[in-house]
Amino acid sequence: MLPITETNVELPEKTPLAGVVSLVTGGSRGIGRAIALRLAGLGSSVAICGRNVGALQSVAAELQARVPSVFSQVADVTTVTDVASLVEKTEATLGPISILVNNVGLGVFGPAQEKSEEDWDRVLNTNLKSVFLVSRAVVPSMIRSGRGDIINISSLAGRNTFAGGGLYCASKWGVQGLSGCMAEDLREHGIRVSVICPGSVATEFSGRGPKDPSKVLTADDVAHAVAMVVTQGPQSFLSEIHVRPLRKA
């Protein structure tokens, strides 16, 4: 039997996303930063948005070390005007968006009856309304292209309830429902809508308290799931991925 060598092994493509444009919301830190870097590593041009100018500039510099075409913009993705500007300027700079990762999110925890209307609006607007607004803005060009991936970062809290999680769970259960319906509406246009549900992740996200680092996910774990989705063969899509820590807390 001949030994396996580099000459008789089919090497994987190193930049499968070359020529593809990706937009990652909340891309200036944590999970969003990891996803943006992973997509750039796969060859995609990448646009990111966030609210912190310094953080955006820092991540943009990291991205430019991996891929030359990068765009960043300060944006509030809960507002129609900011979303329209973000999508318009991204496509003017980089080209039509083929991959959208709706990642931006926040958590406010505690009994629902103790929370204010302002708390409710802030969580639902950030975690759910933004998914609707940004997806709606990006979909027309995807339909024209006849392809695209929309990946919504949800949570296992979108499948499970827990004490003090009323507002957060409501937003993430909403993401689950919206994602499923969008998938059915758009699949005939060649657009794949996926949802990723991570468990606890070690990031700056304001969760329910400190976690044992050995018993939580890393941001790169979520980025790896996104890479799986966008490199899936063209005849299928991964509709929902649950990502859990190996060891229970």
Catalytic residues: 168
Closest CA relative to residue 198, chosen from 120, 101, 64: 101
Residue 133 main-chain phi, psi, to 5 deg:
-65, -50
Helix (H) or strand (E) run with residue 71 in it: strand 70-74
State the first-to-last Cα distance of the chain, in angstroms, to the nearest integer. 48
SS3 at position 115: coil
Instruction: Report strand pairing: 21-24 vs 148-153.
Output: unpaired
Residue 151 main-chain phi, psi, to 5 deg:
-120, 120
- Taking the C-alpha atoms of residue 179 and residue 132, their distance in angstroms, rounded to an integer, is 9
Q: Are 28 and 56 in contact (CB under 8 A)?
A: yes
- Taking the C-alpha atoms of residue 75 and residue 229, their distance in angstroms, rounded to an integer, is 26
Q: Are 32 and 49 in contact (CB under 8 A)?
A: no
Q: Encoding tokens for residue 72?
A: 């960043």
